Amino acid sequence: MAVCAGLTPVTTARAEGHGPEPLPLERLFDNRAVSDDASPGEADFDGAGGSLSAQDLDAAGWTPGRGLGVDGARLTWARSAGRGFDNVTADGQRVRVSGRGDALAFLVAGTGGDATGSGVVRYADGSRSSYTLTAPDWRTGPLATKSVALAHRNTPDGQLAEKTRLFVVSVPVRTGRSIASVELPRTQGAALHVFALSVRAPSRGWTGTWSASPAGYTVVGPWADRTVRLVVHTSAGGPRVRIRLENTFASAPVRIGSASVAVQGAGAEARRTPVPLRFRGASGTQLPAGAQVFSDPVDFDVPAAANLLVSFHLPEPVAAAPVHSQAIQLGYVSGPGDHAAEAAGSAYTSTIAYWPLLTGVDVGGGPGSVVLLGDSITDGVKSTQDANHRWPDVLAGRLLGQSKVPRYGVLNQGISANKVVTDRYPGDGISTDTGGVSALHRLDRDVLAQTSARTVVVFQGINDLRWGATAEQVGTGLREIVRRAHARGLKVIGATITPCEGEALCPAAVDAERVAVNTYLRGPDAPFDGLADFDAVVRDPARPARMLPAYDSGDHLHPGDTGLKALADSVDLRMLVP
């Protein structure tokens, strides 16, 4: 690897047997990954003259020195990108890092293949913990987990039309302990490059009340100088509010001109004048490709179990966006102009049936949130539109109506057609497939990084089985979800897979695999901390391979409103307490 003069004291101190003093990451930079398209030979990221395009990065909104929100962490893209050293090749260097949180977030990429190594976190109280970090290769790593993909690879001989990519990878730390420094991993073979590093701070004082998972990247509109007004249903209430917008899977930034929140009256009409939202003090913001942004906290009395209107103006053309495709709820799009501040709904002249860009609403205070990781049954497919009859909504209502356990917020992270171990949406580019990346690939974003998550309920697997996976493969995936969630301190509740005899992709062979998964989940070796036996709730005792007709929506796979209520009513609320 290339070594700059500033690293000499670190190397010398290590050779003498004394640990080097930790330094800010930027002072350890020893490699240049980014080149100007006009001078592609000025950088050598991979040891063979390859590099990232500065112009591609700028076009994605990754401008030098830009703060980027990714998976609940805030990382800073190198100020020196395109001009000098912009990353460090990990080799045991000690980095000065401070803060408390549940994870460290690394902006990384491997060269020469996927790069894996172990490092050490040192805490202010003198204790330490180890971690293992894998940086996927910048040219071949999975697009499903990338933070940004760029269109080109620069070489000394010119630019090639070949995707390059960067990744944000998080590793657990000891929650509540103040971090003093981080020792970067040492690797063998492939090189592990670190561009940025930060502590993912806890969401103190906030409870997630609503969420939706980015399920794909699809054609929208096109919208230019239009206002989108989305309807979302709260679980917990609170005296303050903030929203989360995400540009997941994108290759270009999106400009938000203004935004507001209000309680819904009828249709697109607000009950009262919407409350304006700000972003770091400004009325609008830019969402870089692959990044997220939270609005500033604002005093606003958010009712529990109520519909909110979240509106945002898009002043510049938007032809594609990350979406959650199955809103089971109408949203609204205006004619020309910024109508976010208007209570009247008359400017909203068209409707949509999906949620673009908006992925979360948080309320001040509260006990934290329960995250429901699932597929179309959790998503609410086949429930009544605009009625909030998804089983997560019913569960939220049960929590609100009792006082024996905390009244947690309920975050619905179901995606229709989603699988545990296989991606439906490939993770990059415009696609009509909105089945999302796999539960394993979206776990950090959709569960571990969710606001004040305390417990996760995992109800998935039928789509894997319907498309040819084995019970063993599903079980392996579920165990990995539990392992990673436990490492972050979450309680994990499992759910048995419900029957689907009569549906086209549920023949007897698939049902045998389903029964095998459920037998494992009910057995002594099950990985979960508790079990919701949804199969036992909805199956027909006379024909256990099928759903009770009273619970069947009619397609033999999805429960209708009555069946979804039965699922929610069967959950022992005490299991949700960590």
CATH at 513: 3.40.50.1110
Which residue from 321, 320, 338 is spatially nearest to 248, judged by alpha carbons?
A: 321
When divided into structural domains, the chain yields a total of: 3
Residue 470 sits in the same domain as residue 550: yes
**Could you report the per-residue pLDDT of 441-500, keeping only the tens digit for each?**
999 999 999 999 999 999 999 999 999 999 999 999 999 999 999 999 999 999 999 999
Give the phi and the psi of residue 16 in degrees, each rounded to 5: -85, 0
26-63: per-residue pLDDT in tens?
999 999 999 999 999 999 999 999 999 999 999 999 99
Give the pLDDT band (50/70/90) at residue 20: confident
**Boundary residue ending a domain (363, 398, 418):** 363
* Same domain membership, residue 378 and residue 345: no
* Closest CA relative to residue 258, chosen from 317, 316, 334, 314: 314
pLDDT of residue 29: 98
pLDDT digits (tens, 9 = 90+) for 108-117: 999 999 999 9
333 and 375 share a domain?
A: no
554 and 575 belong to one structural domain: yes
Distances (CA, A) of 81 to 24, 34, 108, 419: 16, 6, 14, 37
Q: Using CA of residue 264, residue 268, residue 270, residue 276, what is the dihedral sign?
A: positive
Q: What is the pLDDT of residue 505?
A: 98
Is residue 207 in a domain? no
Domain contains 205: no
The answer on 526 and 380 residing in a single domain is: yes
Residues 328 and 441 occupy one common structural domain: no
For residue 150, give the nearest of 77, 251, 297 by alpha carbon. Answer: 251
Angle between helices 471-487 and 508-522 (to 10 degrees): 40
Give every strand in the sheet of 148-150, ordered side by side: 88-89, 191-200, 103-111, 164-172, 148-150
Distance in angstroms (rounded) separating the CA atoms of residues 115 and 291: 24
SS3 257: coil
Q: Answer yes or no: do 340 and 396 share one domain.
A: no
Whether 158 and 232 share a structural domain: no
Q: Which residue, of 330, 363, 396, is where some domain finishes?
A: 363
d(CA 212, CA 324): 6
Distance CA 226, CA 278 (A): 18
- pLDDT interval class at 4 (50, 70, 90): very low
Same structural domain, 426 and 575? yes
pLDDT tens, position by position, 312-337:
999 999 999 999 999 999 999 999 99
Identify the CA nearest to 348 among candidates 227, 455, 231: 227
b/e per residue, 71-90, with b = 16+ CB within 10 A?
Answer: bbbbbbbbebbbbebbbbbb
Q: Quick one: pLDDT at residue 1? A: 31
Whether residue 206 lies inside any domain: the answer is no
Residues above pLDDT 70, as percent of the chain = 97
In a domain? residue 71 = yes
Residue 208 inside a domain? The answer is no
**What residues pair up with 131 in beta bridges, in sequence order?**
119
The verdict on 358 and 371 lying in the same domain is no
Measured in whole angstroms, the distance separating CA 284 from the mean position of its chain's CA atoms is 22
Helix or strand holding residue 550 (H, E): none
- Residue whose pair of structure tokens reads 């086949």 in the numeric block: 382
pLDDT of residue 473: 98
Cα–Cα distances (Å) from 12 to 18, 20, 34, 110, in that order, read 9, 9, 29, 26
Helix%, strand%, coil% for the chain, nearest 5: 20, 35, 45
Residue with tokens 């009619």: 554
- Whether the bond between 222 and the residue before it is cis, its omega within 30 degrees of 0, is yes
Tell me how far the alpha carbon of residue 46 is from its chain's centroid.
29
Domain final residue pick, 170, 200, 230: 200
Residue 7 confidence (pLDDT) above 90: no
Note whether 416 and 550 are same-domain residues. Answer: yes
CA distance 179 to 231: 40
User: Which residue is listed with tokens 């003498």?
Assistant: 16
Percent of the chain residues topping a pLDDT of 90: 96
Where residue 15 falls among pLDDT bands split at 50, 70, 90? Answer: very low
Amino acid at 25: L
Give the other-Cβ count within 10 Å of 505's Cβ: 13
The residue segments making up the domain with residue 267 are 213-363
